[in-house]
Chain A
Amino acid sequence: MKALATAALLVLVTGCGQGKAIFNVDIYSFMAGTGADTIPYVIAPASSGSVSTFSRVQLPPGFGSSVVDSVRITLGNANLMNSGGTGTVGFSIFFAPDSAGTMTAASALDIPPTTVSGSNTVPVAITGDLSPAIYSLFASDTLWMRIAATGNNPGVTPVTGTGVLTALVIRVVLQDKIL
């Protein structure tokens, strides 16, 4: 990792001066195949509930002095593969320095609930600017992300299914104070 960090520094040094460092991090690529990209849900009748998946986000080192300009999910897609029942499922995304911290952190992005019904697959777009409150977390090289699926079942039969993430790219823009 030292070599990669050094190589990254070589690149970053050449970019010193006024300007911005932009990172497009394909978080989904790190989650795919690990199970972290799926969120099975079972919502009992006349109730609501939430399930989460956790992921560690790794960024290049050396940005401790940087000022984060903006953080945005530029590409995010999920499929709600509902297998039964009728209700709604929404997503919230949380960031914290560690996994436990994501449980108490304020949400950085909320995706409004989407209606699911019967045996059907509903695509959901997950895009938008993240809350400025969590910008400073992106100046470190490691942070944790929690994606929570919050379901509501007003009906009399359980709502069951799986939320499957298919794309998630976060764009982090840093004011160029890399070192």
Chain B
Amino acid sequence: MRTAGIALTLAALVLVPRAADAQLSFDARRLGMGGVSLGRDGNARRYNPAYRAVKNLSGGGTGAPRITIPVPLGLYDFFREHPINQLTSDPAFNPDSAAFNPIELMNIVLNPPIFLDIRKPPTPTNNVEFTIGKNQLIMNLGQTRVLIPDHSFGFGTSGRLVDMGFGFGGFNLSVMGFVHYDLSFTLDSALRSVLKDTVPVRPDSSYFIITDAIAQTGLTPTLSYAGRIWRPATADSVPGQTGPNANADDGVYLGAAAHYYFGATYGRGVGPAGFTVGDPIFGNVPTVLFDGLVRTSNRPNGRGIGADVGIAWISGPFEVGIGANDIGAELTWSDTKIQRILYDPNGDSISTTMLSNHVETKTKLPISYIANAALRMGTGTTVGGDVFNAGRGTVIHVGAEQRWGPFAARGGVARDQRKKIQFGFGGGLRLGAFGLDVGIWTHSPSLSDQRAMTMATSISVY
């Protein structure tokens, strides 16, 4: 089991960075447009405070539905292959089974089979070859060498858990919970060369991964404002603009929020982990290399300030917005301890040494931002796009929707966090307050550079 645990962990390290953008949404409309949201919901409202003053479009046209219910066709497929009453004995989930594959299991965890896989993410098919001698170790991973990351990799996010408050006018006073975690790994160049370039392991050398992990959470009382600061004089009287796309929303909207962060707890660990081989390589037992600096808060006393700002301009069929969160958000923790955790090869033990206690340290929250634009043409066509970054790489979505009465066709492209181009297309049928949508999109969530293709289905209630 321990081996399986290690395997799963290692598999996660390889898989997670590639899965970060895997599950965009449960909305087949959005997935069919490559991930872009043409409405004023979701990311626009979350990351651009100005949009909190803009009415969400609903009830027609490109409006967002009140409720989107995913139709989980993928679950039927999954449980047909893995009967639910046999999951405990399913070879795919039993590490002692010859059919157990941690890569596939991690794929399931990171990409829940809600929707139907049209082309499943391929599991690596490859021969790996090792040349072992007393003073020689060469690893040839074949095609899977492409999976060894060239740069830092990891996963993390900065999110807000709750938002409770009250407001009047455009002002709002609330308390939000925040959480930020980030785990990144960097292979040192020697280890990367060994794994990726089939460079022989050199005697008397160290090979390691540098880990940098941080997690912090707390509460932030927030005073925010969102409102229309400029309204065109003709906003209510432009001929031909009626219905949900009317220009009643025209104007410039501004949003801003000031946060005072109360950090509850935080921890950060940085350091290398690996091994040092002897000379000759297999003549001596390799030495474990583990040397980490760990900073942790003694008390829930993180303090800091930060701000969100955003602006949106709506002019008839066109709108554009840009917003950023947690600007200048730096927390000062006045009571923290710094420890060194070191592996002692002589005693085969890990020692913890207090380097300093009751000292001040600082942490930052990553800045998140979004820029979005949409153009609603009078012919039933809507095009839009957004650029989004939640602290771990930029994602770009561009998509369009064409409506003909109750029918809709959609398409889009995206550049994911791995800078890989993905595609989406789909369609929908709306009858009254209900709509059925289908979206097909490509993604690269697994240990492969090949794209997988998934079909999402959802029912929308308008």
Contact = CB atoms under 8 A, between A and B. Distances in A.
Interface of A: 1-4, 6-7, 9-26, 29-30, 32, 58-60, 62, 65, 67, 176-177, 179
Interface stretch (B61-69, B157-165, B232-240, B282-290): B282-290
Contacts of B104: 17
Given A9-B7, A58-B282, A65-B98, A24 B277 contact: no
A24 B126 contact: no
Nearest to A14: B144
A179 B127 contact: no
Interface of B: 3-4, 6-7, 10-11, 14, 95-96, 98, 100-104, 123-136, 139, 141-142, 144, 147-148, 195, 207, 274-275, 277, 282, 285-289, 447
A13 B102 contact: yes
A21 B127 CA distance: 6
Contacts, number: 120
Contacts of B101: 16-17
A20 B286 CA distance: 26
B5 to A, nearest CB: 10
Contacts of B282: 30, 58
B128 A6 contact: no
A119 to B, nearest CB: 32
29 contacts: A3-B275, A3-B288, A4-B277, A7-B275, A11-B128, A11-B141, A14-B148, A14-B195, A16-B102, A17-B104, A17-B123, A17-B125, A17-B447, A19-B124, A19-B142, A21-B129, A22-B127, A23-B130, A23-B131, A24-B129, A24-B132, A25-B133, A26-B136, A29-B136, A30-B133, A58-B282, A62-B3, A179-B3, A179-B7
B interface, by DSSP: helix, strand, loop or mixed?
mixed
Contacts of A30: 133-134, 282
Contacts of B7: 9, 13, 179
A179 B4 contact: yes
A14 B124 contact: yes
B195 A11 contact: yes
